[in-house]
Amino acid sequence: MRYVLVALLIVLFGYALALVLQNGTELSVDLLFTQVPAMRLGLLLLLTLVLGLVLGLLLGVQIFRVFQNSWEIKRLRKDIEHLRKEQIQSAQLAAAEAAASVRHEKTVLDIQAEDNRRPL
């Protein structure tokens, strides 16, 4: 992977150098805050290419972060819903066990009460 990245950087550097050398026409450029009286067209193209890449990468990272947060929120909501269902099931099971225990205790107490009523 490292060699592919180095090769890609060399190709991009070569492209940028060729761009500057092939477009040698000088022209004046107004940069909103200042004016450059003479700038080579190739250098202007290279600067706009770099500026576009940097802005595109920054914007792409921000958009990806928004999507990543959205995906994480969806995943967490599914987890919460799953945990709620598990909690409801365990509460229902505990309630059923408590009801069965109460019924068992009541039955045992009723039997003992009946035994105490009968004379021996």
88 against 118, higher pLDDT: 88
Q: Does pTM top 0.85 for this prediction?
A: no
Q: In this structure, are residues 72 and 56 in contact, taking their beta carbons and an 8 Å threshold?
A: no
At residue 60 the predicted structure's pLDDT band, cuts being 50, 70 and 90, is confident
At residue 89 the predicted structure's pLDDT band, cuts being 50, 70 and 90, is very high
Looking only at the bridges linking them, the beta strands covering 35-40 and 26-30 are antiparallel
Token match 């992977």: residue?
A: 1
- When the pLDDT of each residue in the chain is averaged and rounded to a whole number, the result is 84
Residue-wise DSSP of the chain: -HHHHHHHHHHHHHHHHHHHHH---EEEEE-SS-EEEEEEHHHHHHHHHHHHHHHHHHHHHHHHHHHHHHHHHHHHHHHHHHHHHHHHHHHHHHHHHHHHHHHHHHHHHHHHHHHHHS--
Q: Report pLDDT for 87.
A: 95
